[in-house]
Amino acid sequence: MALPQTPESNPIDYIDDEDFISLEIPLEMAGERLDKVLAGSLPDYSRNRLKAWVEAGAVMVDGKVTKARYLLRGGESIKVFPQEMPEQFAFSPENIPLDVVYEDEDIIVVNKPPGLVVHPAAGNWSGTLLNGLLFHYPELKMLPRAGIVHRLDKDTSGLMVVARTSQAQTSLVRQLQDRTVGRRYLAWVWGDAPSQGKVLASVGRDQRDRLKMAAGSPQGKPAATLFRRLSKGLVKGSPVTLLECRLETGRTHQIRVHLESLGFPLVGDPVYRKKTPGVAKDIQFSRQALHAFALSLQHPVKNELMTWFRLPPQDILDLLPQLEMDDEVLPKEAVVLASIQNESQA
């Protein structure tokens, strides 16, 4: 059924009339708030969920939609129409195009575009890489996280590996734990970065801003990032550097946080911006300039080293002229893959 439209609610489609919970409010509850009574009467549902239902017009008091703070008189009849929450659709297949670089019976390697969230979470319950994987590879519904073993930030582009079997997932997780998976990133940063370096600083939740991570956090986990300079540019007197970064650990926002802690924030980063020069406002780029361009690992079944390489997407290529650079500064595939092979044999 459809609930009546009121100024407090938008029209919402419901199923059968019988699909509601009926409550009769005792007279002694006069003066109690609606949300408090609902929480006490329906302990199987969280307070936040019940409040969301009230605000959506899915709770009726004597046939009328009201507000969570409404004071009951006692003796009312309440109907609650339980609503499916967004997270209940989180693991639904969606026809999302995927750039599949490699696939066999055991693994899938994808080149993730910027703007694509990897795994459903609050604020992004659909439209994720996981939803796309479930559409194109339905068998992944049998695996935890649909075979996903590592992530990239929403606005970081590049290569990721996904397991297709439980054996492959176990192997890949162990390789990540043993730090034998090679992950190389291209990062464009503000500042005149040194020719090479290594950042050893724990990464954990920022105690002053829970939406950010922080380097050197006492509650953080150990983290290590290696970097080397590939090229330099100059934008209206402000230096900019192209770095190749390699992860020894994979903490949330690790490269972004580590480089900012050295005074080299990523170009375009909307969150980690300390020491970002004023000229940055003239650069037309709205995400962190970070791309996972090379990936290497031992195949979980064939037990042989496998490597993949992908140049940055078009938005980064369009950024280069603004940074007084051209695509000649980008690594060459043959050189990178040969370097990975040599390192594996050393």
Cβ atoms of 231 and 329 within 8 Å: the answer is yes
By DSSP bridging, strand 290-298 and strand 182-190 are: antiparallel
Is 271 exposed, middle or buried, given 0-12, 13-18 or 19+ CB atoms closer than 10 A? Answer: middle
Which alpha helices (H) appear in the chain, and where do they start and end?
34-41, 47-55, 129-136, 166-177, 254-261, 314-319, 333-345
The yes-or-no answer on residue 153 being catalytic is yes
Per the DSSP assignment, residues forming a β-bridge with 239 are 234
Cβ atoms of 233 and 243 within 8 Å: the answer is no
**Three-state secondary-structure class, residue 158:** strand
- 94-129 as b/e, with b when 16 or more CB fall inside 10 Å? eebebeebeeeebbbbbbbbbebbbebeeebbbebb
Q: In angstroms, how far is CA 165 from the centroid of its own chain?
A: 23
Residue 95 φ then ψ, to 5°: -80, 75
Cβ atoms of 220 and 196 within 8 Å: the answer is no
For residues 49 and 112, give the distance between their C-alpha atoms in angstroms, rounded to a whole number.
33
For residues 146 and 165, give the distance between their C-alpha atoms in angstroms, rounded to a whole number.
10
Tokens 């580590």 correspond to 258
Among 16, 44, 106, 153, the active-site one is 153
* Active site residues per annotation: 153
